[in-house]
């Protein structure tokens, strides 16, 4: 329940020290690496809010939205996608050099994404299975997150990211404050929202107890166990959850595959799935 | 919210202005289903928002209700560590279920709550305190352990305590406002579950005079078309409401039926807390059991979210994009979150072991020094709703049996 109605509010005034200066519009760039574009689309999907955002920033580089390109340096770079080629490695270093702040968005950029399944297999097998002319393909053997290659100032999780959280990150960055984004488990969201625990009340397997909050409680509130789109929570115990999933009837292989999806390469999820290999 | 703002304001005055009632506190009467229906309509008429049990998504949860047909009619439940199942109960019964995943704290101490907002105003800013417009709740179906939990949170939030800002004692205005308006209609437990242990936490499945209810009900299971409830008056406010309901006086047969129900429930307690746990835990802060429980604990915080006494919160400031409007929000947090113990330079409780130990020692031991009571009422929620079934009574027993 939220308190919205204001009845006879009490007011008090305060004076800020000196005058409050209007800030200059920061130059923003949005970059893409190996990804599906879904996270960038979340930004465009902000609709009305996007117009407000655009009023506060200068979009200097965002090919998904405009072909106009303003040269760097940039105040804030948003990076979507993972590093899968040599060319990517060079490009992300250049971007870092030109960016005061670098914020990664989405499971690909923060953990390597679904394409990191190659990290658990032989990439040549995949290439032969998928492409008519495998000899045209040059790629790294792994898909890795941005922070394995350059320092990152903030990571926003999700596959895809939640647009409300994206707006919060932009808002907080513009206003020089820490984003209000919790790193607790999905369970905390369930309980705050009043969603009945699927594991306890129905025996439905769920990754919620080890998954980072952020999606707005999408799956559990519609009777589906969490798939872990937002990656590991701040203190995940994959081994213990794995044992519980087995008790609920999952086979070892199913447990392995449950942990090995959009965030397969994220530390705790990788460790858990490898223990089931 | 179904009740309008105006009606809410009247709930109090209406219930209080009709000061005349001949029914004394302690009176026991019997009502039937029609009496219970009348109770709902009376409450709504005088401006209360009834909140009570109903079945949703495979569990009994507390939400807005408006008539006895909203209750979990004919439902019971089975509970174990990490497991809850709704099962068919006595046909036509209203209150055979036991406590579920929600607790009344959700209404008195909401998961998210705006504390104040501020607007930029020339060179300075204006602060606005939102007034709390929560309705007067009528909590229907409060169990004995839950009433005890409410009284523990009363101490935390300062309900019934004089404000002494100078001495560093002050009350939470929102909690106090909601709590003082709320009417408490208790329900005695006809059974106890496998995760219940109120008896070993100083509680009892049946409420006692003076425990703090306005009215309380004991359900006599329906049979042969008869479905009755013994109702006991706990306050003048309760008496005023009972006065308006069709009822008959309770006979000694009714009273002894209620007593035998209480004895049966006492005998069914599924769990038991070691009696001297308050002193055992501080002697064993380095016990290896803490490492063992940390192997199992998911750090998911479910236990603290479902606990009716846990009160930890975090405070976040938000701004609008331009930075002209700011708000401060309080929301539920947990000692299981790392940010919760973040102080200058980092978090103090980085390991699951230290977070679990903090939770359990606070609840069962340090709480006594802080508030003069245990922080646990033995409702068993933390056992049932822990996804891996960690059991606070089992942990306490293990530490006692193998520790110092
Ligand atoms: S799978 Fe989990 S993280 Fe993804 S949308 Fe569903 S609940 Fe959210
Ligand atoms: S610690 Fe567990 S049993 Fe005790 S009051 Fe909290 S939820 Fe209930
Ligand atoms: S004790 Fe259970 S409910 Fe509590 S944090 Fe650990 S795993 Fe979660």
**Separation of CA B213 and ligand 3 centre (Å):** 32
Q: Whose alpha carbon is nearest atom 7 of ligand 2?
A: B307
CB-based contacts of B322, cutoff 8 Å, min separation 6:
A56
Cα B136 to Cα B38, B49, B69, distances in angstroms: 18, 6, 22
Closest-CA residue of chain A to B384 = A200
Q: Do A145 and A212 fall into the same domain?
A: no
Assembly ipTM: 0.93
Burial class (CB in 10 A: 0-12, 13-18, 19+), A153: middle
- How many Cβ atoms sit within 10 Å of the Cβ of residue A44? 14
Q: Do A239 and A133 fall into the same domain?
A: no
**B378 vs B374: CA distance, rounded Å:** 10
Q: Do A44 and A111 fall into the same domain?
A: yes
Nearest ligand by distance to the CA of A215: 1
CB contacts, 8 Å: B336 with chain A:
184, 235
Q: Give a yes or no: residue A263 inside a domain.
A: yes
Q: Whose alpha carbon is nearest atom 2 of ligand 1?
A: A226
Place of tokens 């929560």: B134
CB contacts, 8 Å: B120 with chain A:
20
Cα B323 to Cα A76, B38, B162, distances in angstroms: 18, 52, 38
Q: Do A52 and A160 fall into the same domain?
A: yes
Q: Give a yes or no: residue A10 inside a domain.
A: no
pLDDT in tens, B257-274: 999 999 999 999 999 999
CB contacts, 8 Å: B136 with chain A:
none
pLDDT in tens, B40-76: 999 999 999 999 999 999 999 999 999 999 999 999 9
**Would you call B334 and A187 a contact, using CB atoms and an 8 Å cutoff?**
no
Output the domain CATH number for residue A43: 3.40.50.700
**B165 vs B168: CA distance, rounded Å:** 5
Is any ligand 2 atom within 6 A of the Cβ of residue B378? yes
Mean per-residue pLDDT, A162-189: 94
Q: Do A42 and A150 fall into the same domain?
A: yes
Strands B48-56 and B136-142, by their bridges, are parallel
Cα–Cα–Cα angle for B350, B356, B361, rounded to 5 degrees: 120
**Would you call B321 and A192 a contact, using CB atoms and an 8 Å cutoff?**
no
Closest-CA residue of chain B to A25 = B322
Best mutation target, B298, B323, B333, B340, to test chain A (most A CBs within 10 A): B298
Q: Do A169 and A230 fall into the same domain?
A: no
Give me the number of domains chain A comprises: 2
- Which neighbouring-strand residues pair with A104? A79, A155
pLDDT in tens, B214-234: 999 999 999 999 999 999 999
Q: Give a yes or no: residue A82 inside a domain.
A: yes
Q: Do A139 and A190 fall into the same domain?
A: no
**B364 vs B384: CA distance, rounded Å:** 18
**Separation of CA A35 and ligand 1 centre (Å):** 19
The domain boundary, picked from A174, A199, A226, lies at A174
A61-70, A264-273, B143-152: range with lowest mean pLDDT: A61-70
Q: Give a yes or no: residue A228 inside a domain.
A: yes
| CA proximity to B152, closest of B10, B310, B288, B278 | B310
Task: Specify the pLDDT at position A47.
Answer: 79
Q: Do A161 and A49 fall into the same domain?
A: yes
Nearest ligand 1 atom to the CA of A230 is 3
Nearest ligand 2 atom to the CA of B383 is 2
CB A82 within 8 A of CB A143: yes
Helical segments of chain A, H only: 38-44, 48-56, 86-98, 106-111, 123-130, 163-174, 186-193, 198-202, 238-247, 252-259, 267-275
**Separation of CA A40 and ligand 1 centre (Å):** 19
Q: Do A152 and A218 fall into the same domain?
A: no
The domain boundary, picked from A143, A174, A205, lies at A174
Q: Give a yes or no: residue A179 inside a domain.
A: no
For residue B35, the surrounding DSSP H or E stretch is: helix B33-45
Q: Do A225 and A254 fall into the same domain?
A: yes
A190-204, B101-115, B152-166, B353-367: range with lowest mean pLDDT: B152-166
Query: To the nearest whole number, what is the mean pLDDT of chain A?
Result: 91
**Would you call B316 and A180 a contact, using CB atoms and an 8 Å cutoff?**
yes
Q: Give a yes or no: residue A11 inside a domain.
A: no
pLDDT at residue B10 greater than cutoff 50:
no
> Which residue segment(s) compose the domain that A110 sits in?
27-174
φ and ψ at residue B141, rounded to 5 degrees: 100, 25
| pLDDT interval class at A10 (50, 70, 90) | low
Strand intervals (E) in B253-377: 313-319, 325-332, 342-343, 346-347
In whole angstroms, what separates CA A230 from the centre of its chain? 6
The domain boundary, picked from A174, A208, A232, lies at A174
| CA proximity to B110, closest of A192, A9, A196 | A192
φ and ψ at residue B344, rounded to 5 degrees: -45, 120
Q: CA Rg, chain A, in Å?
A: 21
B13-22, B276-285, B380-389: range with lowest mean pLDDT: B13-22
Residue ranges of B 315-344 with Cβ closer than 8 A to chain A: 316-323, 331-332, 334, 336-339
Phi-psi region of B139 (alpha: psi -120 to 50; beta: other; left: phi over 0): beta
Q: Do A54 and A132 fall into the same domain?
A: yes
**A118 vs A264: CA distance, rounded Å:** 10
Q: Give a yes or no: residue A17 inside a domain.
A: no
Q: Do A244 and A223 fall into the same domain?
A: yes
| pLDDT interval class at A21 (50, 70, 90) | low
Q: Give a yes or no: residue A9 inside a domain.
A: no
Is any ligand 2 atom within 6 A of the Cβ of residue B309? yes
CB contacts, 8 Å: B123 with chain A:
15-16, 18-20
For B108, half-sphere exposure in the C-beta direction (CA atoms, 13 angstrom radius) is 32
Cα A124 to Cα A36, A48, A120, A138, distances in angstroms: 22, 45, 12, 10
């Amino acid at each position: 329940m939220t308190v919205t109605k204001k009845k006879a509010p009490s007011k008090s005034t305060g004076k800020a020290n000196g005058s409050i200066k209007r800030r200059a519009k920061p130059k923003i760039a949005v970059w893409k690496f190996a990804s599906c574009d879904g996270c960038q689309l979340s930004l465009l999907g902000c609709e009305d809010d996007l117009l407000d955002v655009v009023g506060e920033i200068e979009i200097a580089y965002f090919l998904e939205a405009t072909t106009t390109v303003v040269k760097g340096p940039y105040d804030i770079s948003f990076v979507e996608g993972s590093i899968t080629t040599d060319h990517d490695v060079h490009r992300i270093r250049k971007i870092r050099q030109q960016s005061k702040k670098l914020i990664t968005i989405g499971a690909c950029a923060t953990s390597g994404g679904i394409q990191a399944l190659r990290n658990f297999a032989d990439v040549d097998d995949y290439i032969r299975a998928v492409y008519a002319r495998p000899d045209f393909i040059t790629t790294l053997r792994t898909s890795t997150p941005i922070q394995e290659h350059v320092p990152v100032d903030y990571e926003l999780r999700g596959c895809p990211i939640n647009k409300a959280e994206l707006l919060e990150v932009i808002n907080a960055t513009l206003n020089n404050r820490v984003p209000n984004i919790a790193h607790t488990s999905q369970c905390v969201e369930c309980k705050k929202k009043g969603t009945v625990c699927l594991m306890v009340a129905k025996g439905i397997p769920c990754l919620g107890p080890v998954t980072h909050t952020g999606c707005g409680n999408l799956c559990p509130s519609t009777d589906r166990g969490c798939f872990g789109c937002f990656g590991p929570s701040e203190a995940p115990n994959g081994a213990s959850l794995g044992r519980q999933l087995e008790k609920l009837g999952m086979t070892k292989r199913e447990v392995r595959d449950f942990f090995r999806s959009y965030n397969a390469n994220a530390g705790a999820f990788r460790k858990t799935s490898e223990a089931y290999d | 919210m179904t009740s309008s703002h105006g009606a809410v304001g009247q709930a109090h005055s209406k219930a209080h202005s009709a000061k005349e009632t001949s029914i004394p506190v302690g009176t026991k009467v019997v009502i039937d289903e029609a009496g219970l229906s009348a109770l709902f309509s009376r409450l709504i008429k005088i401006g209360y928002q009834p909140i009570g049990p109903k079945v949703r998504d495979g569990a009994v949860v507390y939400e807005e209700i408006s008539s006895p047909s909203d209750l979990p009619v004919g439902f019971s439940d089975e509970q174990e560590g990490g497991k809850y199942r709704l099962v068919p109960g006595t046909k036509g019964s209203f209150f055979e279920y036991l406590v579920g995943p929600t607790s009344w704290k959700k209404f008195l101490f909401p998961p998210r709550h705006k504390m104040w907002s501020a607007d930029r105003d020339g060179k300075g800013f204006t602060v606005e305190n939102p007034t709390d417009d929560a309705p007067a709740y009528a909590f229907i179906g409060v169990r004995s352990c839950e009433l005890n939990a409410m009284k523990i949170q009363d101490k935390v939030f300062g309900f019934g305590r004089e404000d002494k800002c100078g001495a560093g004692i002050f009350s939470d205005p929102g909690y106090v406002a909601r709590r003082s308006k709320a009417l408490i209609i208790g329900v005695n437990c006809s059974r106890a579950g496998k995760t219940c242990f109120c008896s070993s936490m100083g509680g009892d499945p049946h409420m006692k005079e003076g425990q703090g209810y306005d009215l309380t009900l004991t359900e006599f299971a329906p049979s042969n078309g008869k479905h009755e409830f013994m109702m006991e008056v706990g306050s003048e406010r309760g008496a005023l409401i009972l006065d308006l309901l069709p009822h008959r006086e309770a006979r000694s047969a009714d009273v002894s039926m209620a007593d035998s129900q209480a004895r049966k429930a006492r005998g069914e307690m599924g769990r038991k807390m070691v009696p001297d746990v308050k002193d055992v835990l501080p002697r064993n802060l380095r016990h290896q059991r803490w490492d063992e429980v940390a192997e199992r604990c998911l750090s998911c915080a479910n236990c603290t979210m479902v606990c009716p006494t846990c009160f930890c919160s975090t405070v976040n400031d938000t701004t609008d994009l331009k930075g002209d409007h700011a708000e401060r929000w309080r929301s539920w947090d947990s000692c299981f979150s790392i940010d919760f113990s973040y102080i200058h330079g980092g978090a103090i409780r980085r390991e699951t072991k230290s977070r679990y130990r903090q939770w359990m020692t606070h609840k069962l031991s340090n709480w006594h020094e802080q508030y003069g009571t245990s922080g646990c009422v033995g409702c068993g929620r933390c056992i049932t709703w822990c996804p891996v079934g960690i059991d606070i009574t089992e942990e306490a027993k293990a530490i006692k049996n193998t520790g110092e």
